[in-house]
Chain A
Amino acid sequence: MDVTDVTDAGAVVARARQGDSEAFQTLVERHSRRAFQLAYRMTGNEQDAEDVVQEAFIRAYRQLNRFEARAHFSTWLHRIVANCSVDLIRSRRSRYDHASTDDLAPTEQPETGDANPERLAASAQIEQKVASAMSELSPLERAAFTLRHYEGRSIAEIGKTLGLGTSATKHSVFRAVRKLRAALEPLRGES
């Protein structure tokens, strides 16, 4: 992103803060895809990710006044999406307990002529196991692990995003890793 983009983004956000709905529409159009990717990784479910994206933009619109002009809108929105995901996982916890094992299951494996069927099957099994283990994590463990492992965010950034101290953030990641290791242990010999 060059300086022009940043300036332009700043102007768009400023107009949106003044209630200009077209400016907010521009922000929605620019950031939706990235927001969806994050929401999907956080929730592990396409429909939930759609709900999170909508909720995040509605929340962002309501709180535009809290956005600091010198910050990046994408960073601010990232934080909102992450927290909306945690809220949604909390509120649908019972559903996750029973259903989300299938959510991240590979529904459509790419068909490649030279793929080894055994390898594909093993990979699908691992994905299923990971999805199942992820659904057993607490919302904060899941969020912290997703942000660290999938999104490559630092512990400090994750703490800031989730409103946790450094120690609490680290321990959320540790607990998540421990649970995932335990869940994947039986597959280690096969992979």
Chain B
Amino acid sequence: MSKHYSEEDLILYYYEERPRRAEVERHLDSCAQCAAAYRDLASTLKMIATPEAPERDEQYGLEVWQRIRHQLPEQEMPWWSAWFRADRLALAGAFAVLVVAARVAGRWWSAGTVVAPPVASLGTAKPSAADDAGNANALNQAGRDRILLSSVAEHLDRSDRVLTDIMNARAGGDLSAEKRWAEDLVATNRLYRQDATDAGEHSVALLLDELERSLLAIVHTPSRATAARLDEIRRRIDAASLLFKVRVLGNELRQRESVPDNRTPRALAAQRS
């Protein structure tokens, strides 16, 4: 080959993307100009080392999941799937059952056998055995809610101490104890968050969710954390005003715990019913 290879040819050759490599190789062996151009290109590209991504440990996936799980949107569905959506099928099924039931009832129902009590009388009726049982259940429920409040308040106190330790930790110091502590708290936190959600305590659940992310960040921090890593965690805690919120909620829960009229949404609902 008499002509020289272009820079583009040599780039493709470097990345092993050029066809007829043997031909190029032979040319480079015999052409000093192209060989020099290739050496120049290759030495520059070899200077560009792959950047090392900061380490992410085994728990990282869980951390990502914690961050995105509340943001997951509706999945895009194929157009025809709208006709087969479970809720529509269920609705159609329920409607069919209703039609059949109405036909059967129309045949066998004898009119005038049941008279519904007037709505106004519900509030003044004397409590029956069933009402007593309902009240007992409501009281049991209120007791359980009170225990939940007390446990979450203690959990927040413990979390407060770990977060405070981290806020005051010095770079390069040993954080093994804080990490172990945070790991235990993460496990407990998940249970309380679920309980809070079930009890309709959405603001508590939300704060526990935020807390979990910071606790996970502590768990995933090396035992001898660098100043940069510690700063990152502190910024996360600060950005969410987490310590402040943890303290305020802890106090609020203890106050609610000491009030006889336990005003949890579930207790209130139980008392109303």
Residues in chain B near residue A170, CB distance under 8 A? 8, 12
Q: Is B53's beta carbon under 8 Å from chain A?
A: yes
The contact of B61 among A28, A41, A62, by CB within 8 Å, is A28
A49 part of interface (Cβ distance < 8 Å)? yes
Partner of A30, one of B41, B61, B78, B228: B61
Q: Given A40-B51, A54-B68, are A174 and B76 neighbors across the interface (CB < 8 Å)?
A: no
Q: Shortest CB–CB separation between residue A130 and chain B, in angstroms? A: 5
Report B-chain residues with C-beta under 8 Å of the C-beta of A57.
Answer: 64, 68
Contact status A62-B41, CB under 8 Å: no
Which of A126, A127, A149 is the one whose CB lies under 8 Å from B45?
A149
**What are 23 pairs between A and B in contact, CB < 8 Å?**
A19-B75, A31-B61, A33-B61, A36-B60, A49-B53, A54-B67, A57-B64, A58-B68, A61-B75, A64-B76, A108-B226, A127-B49, A130-B47, A155-B15, A173-B11, A177-B11, A177-B41, A180-B45, A180-B48, A184-B48, A185-B44, A187-B47, A188-B40
Contact of B17 among A54, A154, A181 (CB under 8 A): A154
How far is A54 from B71 in the complex, measured between Cα atoms in Å? Answer: 10
Bound-state CA distance A28–B64 (Å) is 7
B-contact bits for A82-119, CB 8 A (1 contact / 0 none): 00000000000000000000001001100000000000
- Chain A residues, CB < 8 A from B121: none
Query: B72 touching A24 by the CB < 8 A rule?
Result: yes
Q: Does B108 contact A (CB under 8 A)?
A: no
A38 nearest CB neighbor, chain B only: B53
In the complex, chain A residues whose CB is within 8 Å of the CB of B114: none
A15 to B228, CA, bound (A): 40
When A32-B64, A33-B56, A65-B78 are in contact, do A44 and B44 touch as well, CB less than 8 Å?
no
Q: Which bracket fits the contact residues of B?
A: 35 or more
A41-B53, A177-B45 given; 11 more Cβ-contact pairs under 8 Å: A17-B75, A33-B56, A33-B61, A46-B54, A49-B53, A65-B77, A107-B228, A126-B47, A127-B51, A184-B48, A188-B43
Tell me the complex Cα distance, A56–B61, Å. 13
Distance in angstroms between the alpha carbons of A41 and B7 in the assembled complex:
25
Q: Collect the chain B residues with CB atoms within 8 Å of residue A68's CB.
A: none
**In the complex, chain B residues whose CB is within 8 Å of the CB of A108:** 226, 228
Contact of B50 among A36, A66, A150 (CB under 8 A): A150
Interface flags for A140-162 (1: CB within 8 Å of B; 0: not) read 00000000111000110000000
Q: Are A36 and B68 in contact (CB under 8 A)?
A: no
Interface digits, A36-73 against B, CB 8 Å rule (1 contact, 0 not)?
A: 11001100101001000110011001111110000000
Whole-angstrom CA separation of A25 from B62 in the bound complex: 8
A21 CB–B CB distance under 8 Å: yes
Q: Is the beta-carbon distance between B73 and A61 smaller than 8 angstroms? A: yes
Report yes or no: A25 in contact with B65, Cβ–Cβ below 8 A: yes
8 Å CB contact of B73 from A62, A104, A126, A155: A62
B65-91 with Cβ < 8 A to chain A: 65, 67-69, 71-78
A 8-27 contacts with B by CB, 8 A: 17, 19, 21, 24-25
In the assembled complex, how far is the CB of residue B147 from the closest CB belonging to chain A, in whole angstroms?
A: 29
Partner of A21, one of B40, B56, B69: B69
Residues from chain B with a CB closer than 8 A to the CB of A46 are 54
